Structure 1
Amino acid sequence: MPGRLTGKVALITGAGSGIGLEASILFAKEGAQVVAADINEQSGQATVKKIHDLVGPKSAVFVRVDVAKESDIANAVKVAETEYGKLNIVFNNAGIMHPADDDAINTEEKIWDLTMQINVKGVWWGCKHAIPALRRAGGGSIINTASFVALRGAATPQLAYTSSKGAVLAMTRELSVIHARENIRVNALCPGPIRTPLLMDFLNTEEKKQRRLIHVPMGRFGEAIEQAYAVLFLASDESSFITGTDFLVDGGLTAAYVTPEGQTKSLPPHSNFSGV
């Protein structure tokens, strides 16, 4: 029985860990040939090895990509077309959440600029260089990783990150409209709090973790594989009439006005939370 992505070629950035790792493996299992891109050669190569062991030697190739460099992204698209003859799916997933990111008063300009360079320009360049390739392939799907904080303010200050993800969401919407009649779909994945190294390094105390979790009705961090399954749907032809969406996979966080009563015990003692 053919997989959900049989015959398709996918480029995934940030493929060495977290959501990118799980999506790369899942895509290959579902029949795609995967160009796994990451700035970390060791972790990116490890992803490809896992895919080769599970699926076969022609199922994936690694390319080193620093998404802050336009030439690296252009080269990754070229690798996809050279190695596999076309490009059908792009998952612009790579991003950072810098531990020094804070509020408007305390975030340094260099942190702001670095975050925008990677999280916004990296996605823009991914779309810029992928769209001509998707046209050559007769259409395709782009998925950009945004965040629930593109729609809601974060409980722990992270202004540069939040602003960058808002930009990704706006960019996604506009590109979806511009390219809708070219059979090119553009959607944004908006994860809730996920148990990945990126977020766990940022929420580096139990108090910070609980401050985030108290807003999640399901009461737990999501897992990277849960996001990967959502990306698989957006990449596949099953979502052929879906474009321009902010696809929320957030444990109910953005639907919640108040959190379940049982979770209020995790609030810090000084809180004025009243439950209304």
Structure 2
Amino acid sequence: MTKTLEGKVAVLTGAARNIGKHVAIELVNRGAKVVIGDVLDAQGEATVKELNELAGEKVAAYIHTDVTTYQANKAMFAFAETEFGGVDIAFLNAGIGTNANTMFLPLDDAMDDRMLDINTTAVVKGGKVAMLYLAKRGGGVIVNTASVAGFLAGPTMSIYNASKHGVIGWTRSNDIYKHVCNVRMNAVCPTWVDTELAVDLAENDDGNPFTEIFAKMPRVKAETVVEAVLTLIEDESRNGEALLALPGGVIRPQEPISRFPELVSEEFLNIATQKAPDTVAYYKRKLEEARKREGI
């Protein structure tokens, strides 16, 4: 295989197993070094050992990472910098599906907060930290794991859907940073894959007809999801994109809706065009302030 990512360093969350692990393997195959951040320490260490043994050299390292805190995210990226010299790629993949059918579950703050903290807020926190480290490196790419659920709706997965809608909104809101510091941000949006996450979403629903329906839903192969992630990493024209990974090996972008015509006027378009360079300059200044404040 061509070493298309030779000399690159990637940080991956939720990569001790499943899709994250598959992506880590493919990144190493293409010449990258990888740092895996996860809370599944035994599996994470085993994955890193496997990668290093296959490569015959140190190409991977593991760090325990609670993605819901800035402290842990900063530690993960600093660790990657110490181990391999910097970070060029961030795959923010950690996620859960348990208790997605939430409406009539107990009014439990911790239960609902956990879904949103891991699936959405952690992607925001990881993205903010990644942006500073990748900008320091001169640019790079962030890929967030969203889902087709980020475009769909249904009561059985209501809070999960909401969490992934949030990831889509966050990703599309950050396409400007390619022009500010050469950092692209994209989202991969797979449908059902046979992993523990899919099991989480289907189980614990006593009497829920979704369990039977779920068993008949088409699945996407892990290889298709990995291909979509690598496309978002390697194709430098992809920015602010939500890329679907679907059954049958289908990979295609899901375009955003057009701007509502009521929100557009000639005056608005003129001022937006006029102020575009000022907006980029503003964010360049804010980037430097943030890097200085955080010591990155």
TM-score (norm 1): 0.82
Matches within 5 A, 1:141-180: 141-154=141-154, 157-180=156-179
Matches within 5 A, 1:115-126: 115-126=115-126
Q: Distance in 2 between matches of 1:97 and 1:194?
A: 13
Q: Distance in 2 between matches of 1:233 and 1:16?
A: 21
Supply the AA of the counterpart residue of 2:147.
S
CA drift of 1:210 comes to 5.0
Supply the AA of the counterpart residue of 2:3.
G
SS of residue matched to 1:86: coil
* 2:178/2:239 contact within 8 Å kept: no
* 1:147/1:192 contact within 8 Å kept: yes
1:226 paired residue among 224, 227, 233: 224
* 1:24/1:47 contact within 8 Å kept: no
Supply the AA of the counterpart residue of 1:250.
L
CA drift of 1:213 comes to 6.0
- Structure 1 match to 2:213: 211
Q: Superposition RMSD on alpha carbons, in Å?
A: 2.4
* 1:145/1:188 contact within 8 Å kept: yes
- Structure 2 match to 1:9: 9
Unaligned segments of structure 2, at least 5 residues: 253-296
- Structure 2 match to 1:127: 127
* Higher relative contact order structure (alpha carbons within 8 Å, sequence separation ≥ 6): 1
- Structure 2 match to 1:200: 199
Supply the AA of the counterpart residue of 1:53.
E
CA drift of 1:103 comes to 4.4
Matches within 5 A, 1:228-267: 228-236=226-234, 239-251=235-247
Q: Distance in 2 between matches of 1:135 and 1:107?
A: 43
Supply the AA of the counterpart residue of 1:64.
H
Supply the AA of the counterpart residue of 1:134.
L
- Structure 1 match to 2:186: 187
Q: Distance in 2 between matches of 1:254 and 1:87?
A: 27
Q: Distance in 2 between matches of 1:41 and 1:198?
A: 18
Q: Distance in 1 between matches of 2:223 and 2:210?
A: 23
Deviations 1:224-246 (A, max 9, x none): 2321121112112xx11111111
CA drift of 1:137 comes to 1.1
* 2:224/2:246 contact within 8 Å kept: no
- Structure 1 match to 2:57: 57
- Structure 1 match to 2:90: 90
Overall identity of the aligned pairs, in %: 32
CA drift of 1:201 comes to 3.4
TM-score (norm 2): 0.77
SS of residue matched to 2:47: helix
Q: Distance in 2 between matches of 1:37 and 1:56?
A: 22
Supply the AA of the counterpart residue of 1:233.
T
The number of residues matched between the two structures is 247
CA drift of 1:71 comes to 1.0
Unaligned segments of structure 1, at least 5 residues: 256-276
Q: Distance in 2 between matches of 1:31 and 1:20?
A: 17
| Structure index of larger Rg | 2
SS of residue matched to 2:247: coil
CA drift of 1:203 comes to 1.9
SS of residue matched to 1:110: helix
Q: Distance in 1 between matches of 2:119 and 2:84?
A: 27
Q: Distance in 1 between matches of 2:2 and 2:251?
A: 36
Supply the AA of the counterpart residue of 1:34.
V
* 2:120/2:163 contact within 8 Å kept: yes
